[in-house]
Structure 1
Amino acid sequence: MNGTRQIAALVVAAGRGSRAGDGLPKQYRVLGGRPVLAHVLDAFMDHPAVGAVCVVIDAADEALFREAAGDHAARIITAHGGATRQASVAAGLAALGGSAKVPGIVLVHDGARPFVSHPLIDRAIGAIEAGHAAAVPGVAVTDTIKLVDGGSHVTETPDRSALRAIQTPQAFAFDALVDAHRAAAFAGTSVTDDAGVMEAAGHPVLVFEGDPGNIKLTYPADFEAAERRLGTPAMPPALDDIRIGQGYDVHAFGPGDHVMLGGIRIPHGQGVIAHSDGDVVLHAATDALLGAIADGDIGTHFPPSDPRWRGAASDQFLAHAAMLITKRGGRVAHLDITVVCEAPKVGPHRDAIRARIGEILGIGPDRVAIKATTSEKMGFTGRREGLAALAIATVRLPGA
């Protein structure tokens, strides 16, 4: 790369990825023992020609992003996404435009394409340095394509020799793309990629050689294929270091009209006295996961003396513990939780709690057990002064 213009990568990672199935947004799911986004960031942060990286995330995913970014986080510009991909890219462009060194070239990449290679990045940059304002990677279509009408009848068979499946990173002259996005927003133009934004603004778009291996993870089967490609199946037999961790938490009742249990708001005549939201189920579960990997406890990672965690939602504590396990190449295999209280009743909310915990951990609700009992009116729980939860976690780690 011999160009003199600053080159920036803009990674779009604000989507929810609902087609990939239940669980975390796909860019934060584990692939080869690490979040998908971590693989993407490595490719751009380690490329010698890329001078800046901006990641567009959902505002609710700050903690997940920091975990995925790891040591890269301090050197990454972040922006919060909009309601559409187009709006998210516009937000990222604004963040780059307000940075200390405005780029001359920007590479826009999907956060769910973890196999982007340096040669592909080189080709993207080279196309813009050769004088093009817009260039996108494309792969020849090998299947026969049919156009169909509303009744699913074939209306046309295009010549596949002229068809290309378009990938990312898509490369652009920065100022031209910014202007094209502004024009599209003003005109109400809606497109599915940034090449479309440039086309709508009248710019010719070059298609350069893509990479068949540069797949986008969209459906559950895509993740299975990606794991096989990395040689790390989703639950490999090599995860034979089986760990057990236990957790316990208790909170006294206080003024309020609800309690949080397992990430679910449950109406009650009292609240709990706590620094965070006082969710004893998620607190006990977090300590159980941390215990399984011998990595301190919830107070070590989220000290109550830190004002950042005042009133905080406890789902981020559990997600953090799960992320520590995935960083070690491990999996949460099972979580067994018992709630001890006279009230509120847990049974009516059991399935919702199991589903929510499964969502946080990226596992099925069949791997989450929720039980409830009283203390036969003995002790502080029997006197309805508070409630408690006990948790046992089973974790699988790679063998030594």
Structure 2
Amino acid sequence: MKSGVPSSGQAWRRTLHVTTAAALIVAAGRGQRFGGALPKQYAKLGGVPVLRHSLVAFLAHPQIGRVRAVIHPDDRDLYDEAAEGLPLDAPVPGGDSRQHSVRLGLESLEQDAPDLVLIHDGARPFISQQAIGRVLGALQHAAGAIVAQPVVDTLKRGLDGCVAGTQDRDGLWRAQTPQGFRYDDIAAAHRAVADRALTDDAAVAELAGLSLALVEGGQENIKVTTQEDLEGAERWLRGGLSLETRVGQGFDVHVFGPGDHVTLCGLRLDHSAGLVGHSDADVGLHALTDAILGALSAGDIGSHFPPDDPQWKGADSAVFISHARDMVAARGGHIRHVDLTLICERPKIGPHRAAMITRVASLLDLPEERVSIKATTTEKLGFLGRGEGIAAQAMATLALPAGS
């Protein structure tokens, strides 16, 4: 991911003077309790693999500078499909246990080690941006921090299928992920207990004597372990929790330059000039991408795909809008409608409008009736009226879990 995700540049470092934070997504398990033809992290949730939801959530956070997955060596093709188009560090193979996999992942970061590392289960698809931020914030005064939920149910001890007693629940929390640490501390702790079998990274840290802060997670931060969990996640994704409507707007403009075609809404249209831009200069998809990011309050297209980054030179803008779409899914939401207006004297949009709608609907996994594309001119006024370029403005309507 190093080359694709920008450094946040935000002055958020305080006690630790933190400059870098990485996310390690653990996805090397086989999911024996899950059943089915695929490991649970590659099962489809909302039309995309469970793992992709987790990857996108960390890519979307402005304080995370790198994201790397730890995968099973046999799953590379599945991983490549799940991570297609995402600006990630190359994955590393895991070991024969979760603990072993985490240690290998940590060691893979050693050469350019971050100050902080957040370790997250790839099968927890609905981690919120707020929870990630709370972990990072807690690491300013603690050596480690874990997302957790206080136990609210009465706990019973069982023996041979019968109740054998009641456990006091005061002070008990259910550990979730991500679990965050100062990199050097957790790497050393994992090496020290390589011969032990511990259930999570917090347990590793505890044995090393590290102080750990608890930060509250959310009920939605479920771990997909069984088919029933996946069905529950699908219900949640479809609106099992309270949803709110968000609306974002986007605007973009590109000037004409040398060339024999323009790219608009994912279509190549023959034309007497091209559009000038670092990528393919698809003004329509750029405006739509910014509209979706705006509804997410997630910055603009340039903050996710910097125009001075050479890897995006000539890039297909489908990568940008797919990234925005996946960010919506990672927040547990969905796109309800998009509306795009192309503003130009030429080329004529009308003959291509239906094909544009089909292409945009496909990119956003939307029915065509939820995609509106229109065209207008400026009545020969201004640079657009003089035929010097094309502009686009867009609106995107999203449904997101309330408070996300």
Residues 223 and 7 of structure 1: CA distance in aligned 2, closer, same or farther (over 3 Å): same
| Secondary structure class of the residue paired with 1:15 | coil
**2:166 aligns to what?**
157
Q: Is the 8 A contact 1:86 1:194 kept in 2?
A: yes
1:140-151 to 2 correspondence within 5 Å?
140-149=150-159, 151=160
Aligned to 2:234: 227
SS at match of 1:161: coil
SS state of the match for residue 68, structure 2? strand
* Contact 1:12/1:55 (8 A) holds in 2: yes
1:64 to 74, 78, 84: 78
Report the equivalent of 1:125: 136
Q: 2:47 aligns with which of 33, 36, 52?
A: 33
What TM-score, normalized by structure 1, do the two folds share? Answer: 0.55
Letter in 2 for 1:141: V
Question: Is the contact made by 2:69 and 2:91 (CA closer than 8 Å) also made in structure 1?
Answer: yes
State the shift of 1:11 in Å.
Answer: 0.2
The 5 A counterparts of 1:259-338 are none
In structure 2, C-alpha distance between the alignment counterparts of 1:193 and 1:116, rounded to whole Å: 17
Are 1:13 and 2:27 matched, yes or no?
Answer: yes
| Contact kept? 1:135, 1:208, Cα under 8 Å | yes
Q: CA deviation at 1:147?
A: 2.2
Partner of 2:176: 167
> Could you state the TM-score of these two structures normalised by the residue count of structure 2?
0.55
Question: Deviation of residue 21 (structure 1)?
Answer: 1.7
Q: Equivalent residue for 1:217?
A: 224
Shift of residue 153 of structure 1?
4.7
**Residue 158 of structure 1: CA displacement?**
2.2
1:80 equivalenced with 2:80 (yes/no): no
Do the aligned partners of residues 232 and 110 (structure 1) sit closer, same or farther apart at CA in structure 2, a change above 3 Å counting?
A: same
Distance 1:18 1:30 in 2: 17
Percent identity of paired positions between Structure 1 and Structure 2: 44
Residue 83 of structure 2 aligns with an amino acid whose one-letter code is: A
After superposition, residues 354-365 of structure 1 pair within 5 angstroms as: none
Q: Tell me, yes or no, if structure 1 residue 46 matches structure 2 residue 57.
A: no
Contact kept, 8 Å, 2:68 with 2:88, in 1: the verdict is no
| 1:217 partner amino acid | V
What displacement does 1:203 show?
1.7
Residue type matched to 1:135 in 2?
A
Select which of 105, 127, 143 maps to 1:92: 105
> Is the contact between residue 19 and residue 219 of structure 1 (CA under 8 Å) also seen in structure 2?
yes
Q: Give how far 1:399 is off.
A: 5.7
1:192 aligns with 2:220: no
The partner residue of 1:23 within 15, 18, 37 is 37
C-alpha contact 2:22 2:116 (8 A) present in aligned 1: yes
What's the Cα RMSD here? 2.2
1:105 Cα shift? 0.5
Higher radius of gyration, 1 or 2: 1
Asked if 1:178 is matched to 2:187, the reply is: yes
**1:139 and 2:149 matched:** yes
Deviation readout 1:254-292 (Å, 9 max, x if unpaired): xxxxxxxxxxxxxxxxxxxxxxxxxxxxxxxxxxxxxxx
Kindly indicate whether the alpha-carbon contact (under 8 Å) linking 2:30 and 2:40 is maintained by their aligned counterparts in 1. Answer: yes
- List alignment gaps of at least 5 residues for structure 2: 1-10, 241-322, 326-364, 369-404
Gaps of 5+ in 1: 234-326, 330-396
Q: CA deviation at 1:161?
A: 2.6
In structure 1, C-alpha distance between the alignment counterparts of 2:156 and 2:19, rounded to whole Å:
42
- Report the secondary structure of 2:99's partner residue: helix
Match of 1:292 in 2: none
Give the letter for the 1:168 counterpart: T
Are the aligned partners of 1:32 and 1:232 in contact in 2 as well (CA < 8 Å)? no
Question: How big is the shift at 1:152?
Answer: 4.3
How far the C-alpha of 1:181 sits from its partner, in A, is: 0.4
Q: For residues 344-399 of structure 1, give each alpha carbon's deviation from its aligned partner in whole angstroms, at most 9, with x where no partner exists.
A: xxxxxxxxxxxxxxxxxxxxxxxxxxxxxxxxxxxxxxxxxxxxxxxxxxxxx986
Aligned mates of 2:220, 2:177 — CA distance in 1: 12
Q: Which residue of 1 aligns with 2:395?
A: none
Which amino acid letter does the alignment assign opposite residue 92 of structure 2? A
The question of whether the paired residues in 1 share the 8 Å contact of 2:41 and 2:49 is answered with: yes
